Homo-oligomer: A and B are copies of this chain.
Amino acid sequence: MTDRLVIVGGDATGMSAAAQARRYRDADDLEIVVFERGHHTSYSACGIPYWVGGQVEHRDDLIARTPEEHRARGIDVRLRTEVVEFDIAGRRVRGHDLATGAETWTGYDALVVATGARPIRPELPGIDAPGVHGVQTLDDGEALIATLSATTGRRAVVVGAGYIGVEMAEALIRRGFEVTVVHRGAEPMSTLDPDMGSLVRGALRGLGVTVVGDSEVGEIRTGPDGRVRGVVAGGTVYPADVVVLGIGVVPETGLAAAAGLPLGGHGGLLTDSALRVRGHDDIWSGGDCVEVLDLVSGMRRHIPLGTHANKHGQIIGANIGGGYATFPGVVGTAVSKVCDLEVARTGLREKDARAAGLQYVTATIESTSRAGYYPEAAPMTVKMIAERGTGRLLGVQIVGREGAGKRVDIAAVALTARMTVTQMIALDLGYAPPFSPVWDPVLVAARKTVRAVEERG
């Protein structure tokens, strides 16, 4: 008898799971049905800022695999169909056809919950006004680009200064807008410690972006036509012809919660190592709707990122297909670009270490991406955090120019291996003048951190 796999959500996790399960089991053995409420499958949401900014020309460039391509592999993709209920006891889901309004129940032998995350939209006056945009899906990106093309005004306000906010600020500058970024913390990019975030503020200002920190948005002001006219924050009105929300996302787990599936403290689904939802042998979940283990702190986190979502999909697909794969957890690596500034982080910030009960020392160094005498050697700031006493690496943050960002991978692997900073000093990293000073900046930071560990005792 043919089993039926039902997947809810047709982006990275859902479609990777489908494709991987299909590699293991053919259509006679496993029927695969995917419900996707949007118009697209398998696209790179992370690429939307570059599409808006014009570096990526066509929407379709962001689509790794179309519904037709998936269907050609025997995957039954049902677009514009929103699943509105999980019936766990009955092993079925209820789908709602967004075009016709028709509703149907579909039974499953295995269910994958890949509902992703939804952007935070604070309940503010005017938040739903035309001209206020999220950038979570391709459909969102399309709507934003339509607004940008139609509007005659050139003033844009970005709310939030995380990765998406900062990338969108640059994209809007590229499109010729005057851009103001309004954000809550003291410094942009709160995934960094403030001392490193201040370097990002400098870069944004260098681009011509007005950066307003320590500021909470209280209202979206609209005009007589109902369209957005401004953003009110901290008593000031920032005029706006378009507003982009980049405040962050939360796991899209409303249906899962309603069905009684277990959620963690961040609102994400809880799974085991094989990405099976805890307590449910026939339900799997991954991507932006789950919580993951932080290997450094030992705590659970919610990290919505395409790279994890793709891995999760592969793991789920392999396990459903009869293979075996697990997801051990994350160390919290992220990298981003603001114009020519590269920003990277992995592991714990100071406040994460404190929250995890870890005492630590820090060291910050300045170095260069190449040998100092080699052309285009660019400055780089590396901050390192290590556990007091043991010297175990806890985190690294890097801000610099070309060649800075991906150096964070050295620390990401070292964190995974639970290396101490003393062990890191001896790392045999690639050296040649076009690539690195004779002491790689990460090693220079490790040396200074070792001294800090020794001094602190």
> Does A356 lie at the interface of the complex (its beta carbon under 8 Å from any beta carbon of B)?
no
> Does A124 lie at the interface of the complex (its beta carbon under 8 Å from any beta carbon of B)?
no
Complex CA distance for A426 and B329, rounded to whole angstroms: 8
Within 8 A of B (CB), among A349-404: 371, 373-375, 403
Establish whether residues A46 and B432, one from each chain, have CB atoms under 8 Å apart when the complex forms: yes
Q: Which residues of B contact A44 (CB under 8 A)?
A: 371, 373, 433, 438
Establish whether residues A435 and B413, one from each chain, have CB atoms under 8 Å apart when the complex forms: no
Q: Which residues of B contact A375 (CB under 8 A)?
A: 55-56
With an 8 Å Cβ cutoff, the count of chain A residues facing the other chain is: 63
Establish whether residues A416 and B427, one from each chain, have CB atoms under 8 Å apart when the complex forms: yes
> Does A344 lie at the interface of the complex (its beta carbon under 8 Å from any beta carbon of B)?
yes
Establish whether residues B438 and A307, one from each chain, have CB atoms under 8 Å apart when the complex forms: yes
Q: How far is the CB of A391 from chain B (nearest CB, A)?
A: 13
> Does A179 lie at the interface of the complex (its beta carbon under 8 Å from any beta carbon of B)?
no
> Does A24 lie at the interface of the complex (its beta carbon under 8 Å from any beta carbon of B)?
no
Stretch of A104-112, A113-121, A330-338 that contacts chain B: A330-338
Closest B residue by C-beta to A61 = B373
Closest B residue by C-beta to A419 = B417
Establish whether residues A434 and B337, one from each chain, have CB atoms under 8 Å apart when the complex forms: yes
Q: How far is the CB of A203 from chain B (nearest CB, A)?
A: 14
Choose among A305, A328, A374, A430 the residue with the greatest number of B CB atoms under 10 Å from its CB.
A430
The contact of A438 among B310, B346, B408, B425, by CB within 8 Å, is: B310
> Does A311 lie at the interface of the complex (its beta carbon under 8 Å from any beta carbon of B)?
yes
Q: How far is the CB of A79 from chain B (nearest CB, A)?
A: 22
Q: Which residues of B contact A46 (CB under 8 A)?
A: 371, 431-433, 438
Proximity bits, A436-457, B CB within 8 Å = 1, else 0: 1011100000000000000000
The contact of A373 among B56, B306, B307, B433, by CB within 8 Å, is: B56
Q: How far is the CB of A43 from chain B (nearest CB, A)?
A: 10
Q: Which residues of B contact A425 (CB under 8 A)?
A: 311
Q: Which residues of B contact A407 (CB under 8 A)?
A: 406, 409
> Does A173 lie at the interface of the complex (its beta carbon under 8 Å from any beta carbon of B)?
no
Q: Which residues of B contact A427 (CB under 8 A)?
A: 409, 412-413, 416
Q: How far is the CB of A386 from chain B (nearest CB, A)?
A: 16
Establish whether residues A439 and B310, one from each chain, have CB atoms under 8 Å apart when the complex forms: yes
Q: Which residues of B contact A414 (CB under 8 A)?
A: 413, 417
Closest B residue by C-beta to A62 = B373
Complex CA distance for A56 and B376, rounded to whole angstroms: 11
> Does A259 lie at the interface of the complex (its beta carbon under 8 Å from any beta carbon of B)?
no
> Does A238 lie at the interface of the complex (its beta carbon under 8 Å from any beta carbon of B)?
no
> Does A429 lie at the interface of the complex (its beta carbon under 8 Å from any beta carbon of B)?
yes
- Known contacts A310-B439, A419-B417, A439-B307; decide if A430 and B335 are in contact (CB<8 Å): yes
Complex CA distance for A409 and B429, rounded to whole angstroms: 5
The contact of A430 among B371, B409, B430, by CB within 8 Å, is: B409
Establish whether residues A47 and B417, one from each chain, have CB atoms under 8 Å apart when the complex forms: no
Establish whether residues A431 and B307, one from each chain, have CB atoms under 8 Å apart when the complex forms: yes
Establish whether residues A333 and B412, one from each chain, have CB atoms under 8 Å apart when the complex forms: no
Within 8 A of B (CB), among A269-311: 305-308, 310-311
Q: How far is the CB of A73 from chain B (nearest CB, A)?
A: 19
Establish whether residues A433 and B332, one from each chain, have CB atoms under 8 Å apart when the complex forms: no
Proximity bits, A194-220, B CB within 8 Å = 1, else 0: 000000000000000000000000000
The contact of A47 among B56, B330, B403, B433, by CB within 8 Å, is: B433
Closest B residue by C-beta to A403 = B406
Complex CA distance for A61 and B337, rounded to whole angstroms: 31
Q: How far is the CB of A246 from chain B (nearest CB, A)?
A: 14
Q: Which residues of B contact A328 (CB under 8 A)?
A: 423, 426
Closest B residue by C-beta to A328 = B426
20 A-B pairs within 8 Å (CB atoms) are namely A46-B438, A47-B433, A55-B374, A305-B431, A307-B440, A310-B438, A327-B426, A328-B423, A335-B435, A346-B430, A405-B432, A408-B430, A409-B409, A409-B440, A412-B428, A412-B429, A413-B429, A414-B417, A416-B419, A416-B423
Apart from the given pairs A334-B432, A335-B435, 4 other A-B contacts in the complex at a CB distance below 8 Å? A412-B430, A413-B417, A413-B427, A416-B423
Q: Which 6 A-B pairs have the closest CB atoms?
A: A417-B417, A335-B430, A307-B431, A413-B413, A61-B373, A337-B434
